Amino acid sequence: MTNKSPLQIARAAYKPKLPLALSGAVKVIEGEKTQSVDNQAEIQAKFPNTYGLPVIRFEADSSTKNKSKEAINVGVILSGGQAPGGHNVISGLFDGIKSINKDSRLFGFLLGPDGLINHKYIELTADIIDEYRNTGGFDIIGSGRTKLEKEEQFDKGLEIVKQLGIKALVIIGGDDSNTNAAVLAEYYKKIGAGVQVIGCPKTIDGDLKNDSIEVSFGFDTACKVYSEVIGNIQRDCNSAKKYWHFIKLMGRSASHIALECALQTQPNVCIISEEVEEKNMTLDDVVNYIADIVARRAADGNNFGTVLIPEGLIEFIPAMKALIAELNDLLAKNKEEFAAAADQRKYIIEHLTEANAAIYASLPLGVARQLSLDRDPHGNVQVSLIETEKLLSEMVGNRLAYMKAEGKYNGSFKPLHHFFGYEGRCAAPTNFDADYCYALGVNATQLIKAGVTGYMSSIRNLTKPSVQWMAGGIPITMMMNMEQRNGEQKPVIRKALVKLEDGPFKKFAAKREKWARETSYVYPGPIQYFGPSEVCDLPPMTLVYEQQSK
Amino acid sequence: MTNKSPLQIARAAYKPKLPLALSGAVKVIEGEKTQSVDNQAEIQAKFPNTYGLPVIRFEADSSTKNKSKEAINVGVILSGGQAPGGHNVISGLFDGIKSINKDSRLFGFLLGPDGLINHKYIELTADIIDEYRNTGGFDIIGSGRTKLEKEEQFDKGLEIVKQLGIKALVIIGGDDSNTNAAVLAEYYKKIGAGVQVIGCPKTIDGDLKNDSIEVSFGFDTACKVYSEVIGNIQRDCNSAKKYWHFIKLMGRSASHIALECALQTQPNVCIISEEVEEKNMTLDDVVNYIADIVARRAADGNNFGTVLIPEGLIEFIPAMKALIAELNDLLAKNKEEFAAAADQRKYIIEHLTEANAAIYASLPLGVARQLSLDRDPHGNVQVSLIETEKLLSEMVGNRLAYMKAEGKYNGSFKPLHHFFGYEGRCAAPTNFDADYCYALGVNATQLIKAGVTGYMSSIRNLTKPSVQWMAGGIPITMMMNMEQRNGEQKPVIRKALVKLEDGPFKKFAAKREKWARETSYVYPGPIQYFGPSEVCDLPPMTLVYEQQSK
């Protein structure tokens, strides 16, 4: 590899700070037996061999007895969307197994689970690992979205695992990938394959967390990149004083990213999908809420502002959800008739139930078209392609025109639009994520050495300095419940949405009136890697407020 | 001001490094008399009192004789779009006049030239200045786009200038604002107002430069922010290996920003508008060029890539320029008829000349609609609103479908779109811009003290360490020529476009074949303020290659 930027070269030398518990030999401490968060009987029935295992904690051990020094071969898979720090998990794993025995070997399966199934892999040697320390991206071995869930995939994978003498597979992924890791662990245990499976909690979306997993890796870095550009836009906004910036943020269903960015940057408006659903708000309610803030600011002479919008909003508006469901159904059943209709908009309005037809008719034309035309191969609306930021700004504009006619608004409204997502998924990890990920990797090695399977690598106490972090493992089944997926009840890790009763949302809710009316923007600036600790080493704000509220 | 981010607090303490020549008392060295770059007779006739002045150079002076210590009152105006570092120009000015005499006063006119005309201002005191050192944005006094070009504006401004005892106005702006600064200087000189006018070269677009001005401030920071996010996207692109990212970059007419970002990040494709015009390329030529690269990469198994597109591209494609001109004319003349047409697309195609009708008909529907409907109050197409990134990706997709049918392409093409602009205009300045801007401000003070008017603050030798930078002033008229503006010949500063024969473009042109085919992405990462000098203090790459080629 050539062509490195000066920062990349300098950052390669960073040595992640390990928790004290993982700095040398460890003692394995077993906790109580565990239960799944819900549906205990069903989950236990699905995981007879890996259910109910104890939580594991590691402590530093100064004794030297019974320390196995046997070489271990490990396979690693990156699964799903990129998140900053994946390369550090892998370098932690590498250093971990090499510190046990220099003949240990690490194999990386290429382009996600496909690499395991199709036997595509490379050996990750020191020269490769050193090229990727502290870098963003998943390009060391690539990632992929194939779901590892069928027994024939597991069997196919086992062939190459056996061939390479792999003792354990480490799967770095989000909630679905870790659910599948647990299923794979159970299967290999059941057939006596002698292969352990360990998961690592990855996702920028922040929706893989619970009592045992404080935060998924990558969330911190991604949010700091988004907060940097939001802060820059807010500074622009407050200098030009003439635009309203509507900023959509990646994050799938949950609004964790929007909430973290709101706490970091103090925008005038931030919509939290979970609150919209909880309060059963309509699209008009959301539009009116924003329009009222625009009007109040205009009354103060401030015809500018910023609005943060979570990617998944549309699906959390109950009425929109109902419209989308009926549209999916209608268009799937009447595909030819719809395609042949002279006026497709009219066709839709005439065939929907009255309530949904009224909502559809109220949507801006561009969005209505996206709802009816941009459909996936199964005929479903592609919600992630809907430009919610434009939808909202157009409807806010209409509402303001109406308010103006009523004499309730007298300002100018010029919206601009942004969507941030791909900018943050592969940034070089912050010190927090670099340390956290490296620790997750080293910790995974200890779980392998402890001989367990179906565990997730767990590092806790993350709001403290990294030397004080706690290391251990959590049985993945402990995080599960049964949920409806594609028409079947399945055991899955419960997705963590924003909780309205928790610290982060309450902090936001207590401030938002002030932020709406006043201009209280904060400019976080770009991620710093070399400066003072109070600039470079901060954990996510949502994590801090969550821990405080516990 | 409360609510500062940790970085903002830490960065406030940064002390910009001044050139040796400006670190203490200075000696004024007058160079040769100057000439305008073209149309000397016309420019001289327009500027009888300020034409032909000498270039001025400052040198450190250890003698203490004849040093005036008289207090000076200065007024400062931020004009036009934001650029990182404006606050440092102002803090340099403040420190400059205070170092002469602590009773000197600095007045900031609010929201651009309007503040001067309408007598809206604040006094910038130490506590205000200290809040804004090394920060981005123009929010200290705001900016505006009102053009200062009429005598009644000058007279109105003079009232408040006299009232505040202001000896000199410093106008921080781009080419147009500095042109107007020269006109104002000439006018105040002519009427014997006793008020000096000094310009400072600001614009992220990088199109205000010439033999005397090496680079405008803000260009470095803005390009580094864009390069950060482009690099992050490229890392994502190279990890997921399934998307083509079409990234439009701000920069008005000139392609300096796109070129700088291309040199920083090494994308697969970067279009340079000036080359498109020089080679008289059609829109289809541009599309085919990109499609061929997509197809060649697909042949290597790489169905991903990045394309950088300069904001002004459309206007540099001669055929599109002709189409837009005819459309502007057609729709202005037949406004009612067009508005009443049942099928507006058909109406346009029937009324355009054959060549333009064919181009219009070939455009994707969304873009055709933008061309015909999104018009400014004068009835002109709003070129900056055209989503060129979507236009190109859609046409590339069509071209690839055609190539596939011909058996010349066998890959998958999934485009994603981005536009970066507002993210970079108000970022906290890099060390380069922080030092450069502060020096421009201190230097402007010396020009005021030297008693000159109609000069631009000039700091040169910028690729060297800042202590070696050269300081001085350039008569603004020296950079002028006559150009057609709104139907009249006017004296203006010549806008600097990308020169195809200069070092930066040649460097790019020599590498682009390789970058297109291979994946040579560089990941510059976020701007660093505290790290090693080789990471934090680099000047723009285009500037380095320009200086090397001189």
Cβ contact, residue pair B225, A526, below 8 Å: yes
Question: Backbone phi, then psi, for B433, in 5-degree steps?
Answer: -70, -35
Residue B1 pLDDT greater than 70, yes or no: no
Looking only at the bridges linking them, the beta strands covering B470-475 and B244-249 are unpaired
Report the side by side order of strands in the sheet with B26-33. Answer: B26-33, B54-60, B470-475, B455-460, B196-201, B166-173, B73-78, B105-109, B121-123
CB distance from B538 to chain A under 8 Å? yes
Looking at chain B, which residue has its C-alpha nearest residue A110? B239
Looking at chain B, which residue has its C-alpha nearest residue A9? B535
The whole-number pLDDT of residue A384 equals 73
Cβ contact, residue pair B527, A526, below 8 Å: yes
Size of interface A-B (CB pairs under 8 A): 186
Cβ contact, residue pair B522, A139, below 8 Å: no
| Range 79-98 of A in CB contact (< 8 A) with B | 81-82
End-to-end CA distance of chain B: 46
Contact residues on chain A for B427, CB-CB shorter than 8 A? 232, 235, 525-526
Strand, coil or helix: what is B510? helix
Residue B2 pLDDT greater than 70, yes or no: no
Q: In the predicted model, what is the mean pLDDT of residues B139-157?
A: 95
How far is the CA of A532 from the CAs of A8, A227, A314, A536, B318, in angstroms? 19, 19, 41, 6, 52
Report the mean per-residue pLDDT for chain B: 94
| Token digits of residue A108 | 């990386």
Looking at chain B, which residue has its C-alpha nearest residue A141? B239
The residue written with tokens 């979570």 in the block is: A310
Contact residues on chain B for A533, CB-CB shorter than 8 A? none
Cβ contact, residue pair B5, A142, below 8 Å: no
The whole-number pLDDT of residue A212 equals 85
Name the β-bridge partners of B474: B456
Cβ contact, residue pair B531, A530, below 8 Å: yes
* Rounded Cα–Cα distance for residues A75 and A73 (Å): 7
Q: For B169-218, write each residue's pLDDT tens digit.
A: 999 999 999 999 999 999 999 999 999 999 999 999 999 999 889 999 99
Q: Based on C-alpha coordinates, what's the Rg of chain B?
A: 25
| Range 217-236 of B in CB contact (< 8 A) with A | 225, 228-229, 231-233, 235-236
Q: Which of A416, A390, A425 is nearest to A86 (CA)?
A: A425
| Range 374-433 of B in CB contact (< 8 A) with A | 416, 418, 422-428
Of B225, B426, B525, the CB nearest to A7: B525
| Range 108-127 of B in CB contact (< 8 A) with A | 111
Contact residues on chain B for A522, CB-CB shorter than 8 A? 3-5, 8
Cβ contact, residue pair A522, B3, below 8 Å: yes
Question: Backbone phi, then psi, for A151, in 5-degree steps?
Answer: -60, -35
Please name the helix (run of DSSP H) or strand (run of DSSP E) that holds residue A33, with its range, or none. Answer: strand A26-33
B1/chain A closest Cα distance in angstroms: 9
The whole-number pLDDT of residue A65 equals 62
pLDDT confidence bin for B365, thresholds 50/70/90? confident
Q: Which of B434, B525, B482, B462 is nearest to B233 (CA)?
A: B525
Cβ contact, residue pair B530, A528, below 8 Å: yes
| Token digits of residue B277 | 């015009």
Please identify every residue of A annotated as catalytic. 205
CB distance from A239 to chain B under 8 Å? yes
Strand, coil or helix: what is A513? helix
Cβ contact, residue pair B525, A5, below 8 Å: yes
Q: How many CB atoms lie within 10 A of CB A546?
A: 20
Contact residues on chain B for A238, CB-CB shorter than 8 A? 137, 139
| Token digits of residue B199 | 């310009």
Q: How far is CA B111 from the centre of its chain?
A: 19
Looking at chain A, which residue has its C-alpha nearest residue B424? A232
| Range 513-532 of B in CB contact (< 8 A) with A | 520-532
Inter-residue contact B491 to B50 (CB < 8 Å)? no
CB distance from A241 to chain B under 8 Å? yes
The whole-number pLDDT of residue B64 equals 66
| Token digits of residue A435 | 């340390």
| Interface residue of A220, A523, A533, A538 to substitute, partner B, most B CBs within 10 Å | A523
CB distance from B142 to chain A under 8 Å? yes
Inter-residue contact A302 to A243 (CB < 8 Å)? no
Among A113-122, A357-366, B9-18, B504-513, the least confident range: A357-366
Of the candidates B175, B205, B207, B433, the residue annotated as catalytic is B205
| Interface residue of B426, B433, B520, B527 to substitute, partner A, most A CBs within 10 Å | B426
Q: How far is CA A501 from the centre of its chain?
A: 21
| Range 251-270 of A in CB contact (< 8 A) with B | 264, 266
Q: Which amino acid is at B218?
A: G
Q: For B271-330, write each residue's pLDDT tens digit.
A: 999 999 999 999 999 999 999 999 999 999 999 999 999 999 998 998 888 998 898 888
Cβ contact, residue pair A523, B428, below 8 Å: yes
What is the per-residue burial (b if ≥16 Cβ within 10 Å, else e) of B354-375? Answer: eebbebbeebbeebbebbbeeb
Looking at chain A, which residue has its C-alpha nearest residue B428? A525
Cβ contact, residue pair B82, A424, below 8 Å: no
* Rounded Cα–Cα distance for residues A465 and A18 (Å): 10
B367/chain A closest Cα distance in angstroms: 13
Cβ neighbors of A371 (< 8 A, separation 6 or more) are A323, A324, A327, A360, A363, A381, A386
Strand, coil or helix: what is B415? strand
CB distance from B283 to chain A under 8 Å? no
Helix/strand number for chain B, H first, E second: 22, 15
How far is the CA of B322 from the CAs of B15, B127, B368, B375, in angstroms? 51, 54, 15, 17
B231/chain A closest Cα distance in angstroms: 8
* Rounded Cα–Cα distance for residues B24 and B471 (Å): 12
Cβ contact, residue pair A418, B422, below 8 Å: yes
Report the side by side order of strands in the sheet with A305-310. Answer: A269-270, A305-310, A244-249, A415-420
B247/chain A closest Cα distance in angstroms: 12
Of B5, B240, B535, the CB nearest to A10: B535
Per-residue confidence of chain A (550 residues) as pLDDT tens digits? 458 999 999 999 999 999 999 999 899 999 999 999 999 999 999 999 999 999 999 999 887 665 678 999 999 999 999 999 999 999 999 999 999 999 999 999 999 999 999 999 999 999 999 999 999 999 999 999 999 999 999 999 999 999 999 999 999 999 999 999 999 999 999 999 999 999 999 999 999 999 889 999 999 999 999 999 999 999 999 999 999 999 999 998 899 999 999 999 999 999 999 999 999 999 999 999 999 999 999 999 999 999 999 999 998 998 888 998 898 888 888 888 888 888 888 999 999 999 999 999 988 887 888 887 767 666 677 777 789 999 999 999 999 999 999 999 999 999 999 999 999 999 999 999 999 999 999 999 999 999 999 999 999 999 999 999 999 999 999 999 999 887 789 999 999 999 999 999 999 999 999 999 999 999 999 999 999 999 999 999 999 999 998 7
What is the per-residue burial (b if ≥16 Cβ within 10 Å, else e) of B508-547? Answer: beeebeebbeebbbbbbbbbbbbbeeebbbbbbbbbbbbb
Contact residues on chain B for A143, CB-CB shorter than 8 A? 239-240
| ipTM higher than threshold 0.90 | yes
| Interface residue of B422, B507, B511, B515 to substitute, partner A, most A CBs within 10 Å | B422
* Rounded Cα–Cα distance for residues B240 and A112 (Å): 10
| Range 439-458 of B in CB contact (< 8 A) with A | none
Cβ contact, residue pair A6, B538, below 8 Å: yes
